[in-house]
Amino acid sequence: MLVESVEWQIRQQPYHAMIALFRRKTRVFASLLAVVVLYLLLAFVPENRETLYGFTYVRTSYDWSKQPLKYPISEYVPLPTGRPLPLPKVQYAFTTDTSPKGAARDEVLASRRAEVKQAFTKSWTSYKNIGFGYDELMPVSGKGRDAPGFGGWGATLVDSLSTLWIMDLKDEFYEAAAAAVTINWAHTSDTSCNFFETTIRHLGGLLGAYDLSLETALLEKAIELGDMLYMAYDTPNHMPPFWLDFDDAKRGRQVAGYHDPSASVTSSSLEFTRLAQLTGNDKYYDAINRVTLVLDEWQNKTALPGMWPTFFDFAQLQLNSDNSFTLGALADSLYEYLPKTFALLGGLEPIYEKLYRGAMDAVIENLLFRPMTPNQDDILFSGNVYVSDDTGPHLTAEGQHLACFVGGMFGLGSKLFNIPEHLEIGEKITRGCVWAYDSMPTGIMPEIFNLLKCDTLEPCEWDESTWENEANTQLAKGFKSARDVRYLLRPEAIESVFLMYRMTGNPEYQEMAWRMFQAIRKATETDLAFSSIQSVRDVNTVKSDSMESFWLAETLRYFYLIFSSPDLINLDEFVLNTEAHPLRRPR
């Protein structure tokens, strides 16, 4: 790690930035250069440094664990007790093929894995050399930038930790970890942080990195952050807001929102449960359990019983003020976390199975649709429903890249809850997303699009005249329109492809993944890294100069894992949070 790689630390804790250079196999040149810079920076040495578990550790300058609560809890609901139940296996029972054909296949997979790793290394190296410590690298202009609401806490740095470990980039992992444990959560120019994004990227990233490496300093940093994020629940009814306002939290003035995205205020169960398991502190579990009980109370009282609306009025605890329902943007991880939290709790809390079953029954009946295609492709998508007071549910046959996670979710629910038909549904949804990839000139699906749909989930005859009269005929047959043709380096499609491969053992999914990776690499690569593009319809892609942290945390991680040994992040040993951070399931 060269000096320019630690600009962020120099800006905040200059002495600690230099100490990090001496950790684990650092080059002599960097060490000598660090000594010179160290003497130049002695006047700025902060006083809160300490050596912790072999790292130079900087504690956050505001200790949220000592912050008095405006609305204290008299008694915390504890984690479920007892040994985890013997849950059904999620992962397919893979065997080793020692034949010449098997050896040849291993060589192919190793080559593909190396190409994915090369894409990650290119992205990480540019981030480290140019944008280190900023939230994101700008992969065209070659700058670093902080994302609004992310606190300037190095989202890409923390989000990438688990990928560095998984790809066996251990030197880079320890360089990044040494930087991560110097983050001061109180050092930010923002007055508030995005509660959801900070939870899934930063807290999830630290917990996942700890569960892989067992480096206790990372857990300590996660506890600091968890104590800050816990303050989001210090509201009159203990429901969290979208924004965690630091000053309001200190003064006891927080309230839940009147119109917040449902995913944003309900998707902390994995991270807070794992933090409770690792620390023995039930306050974290108590917080998310209260939200779960509200979901249970309202599941069958909404405009579409079984599901919850896209937006919540948590301030008044009225979950029937919105009549729109989706598994896509704004609601997605609410549903994703139901089977995953069940697994992380070892099956000891049955409410998550109840919520999943009720929600998926409503999804199958109301949201799933089959597109009308010339080949009668056996695929499904999840659309959006608006419930009219007069005419009832109305389905819009809209597809979203964000909703491609649904295939993997159905598969996971099928395995954990012994619902075989959900695996079939999950495969059809996953193959639908791959079909959408294959249908575009770049080989990448759009962000949002509309499809011609069949009347039922069964095959229907292709109607050429309907397509000519109602659809944009410049698109592939089956598409009606594409209102957002960007690709933002999103992971949801490869996420479900990876999960389906690990759950079924079908190597076809590896071929789908390779086709997708090649298309994405060709369309998004820049001199420095990889960039979002403005249109998947134009093979001469226009880059948007954006590379969000999930490119390294999720997209490339899933591509790498699908070509790796099934024992690497075994699905019966880990639960992946919505940012693909592996949280270890208790045994």
Active site residues: 197, 332, 447, 492
Nearest-5° Cα angle at 225, 494 to 568: 35
Q: Give the separation between CA 509 and CA 9, rounded to whole angstroms.
A: 42
Give the phi and the psi of residue 298 in degrees, each rounded to 5.
-100, -5
What radius of gyration do the chain's Cα atoms show? 24
H-helix or E-strand containing 325?
strand 324-326
Does an H or E element contain 118, and which? helix 100-126
Measuring CA to CA, how many Å separate 587 from each of 70, 206, 241, 413, 571? 37, 21, 34, 20, 13
| DSSP letter assigned to residue 27 | -
- With CA atoms as reference, report the closest residue to 114 among 152, 50, 167, 63: 167
Strand-pairing partners, residue 311, are 261
* Nearest residue to 180 via CA among 142, 153, 207: 153
CA distance 9 to 128: 12
Distance CA 20, CA 183 (A): 12
Torsion of CA 263, 272, 217, 18, to 10 degrees: 20
User: CA geometry: angle at 178 spanning 173 and 181, to 5°?
Assistant: 120
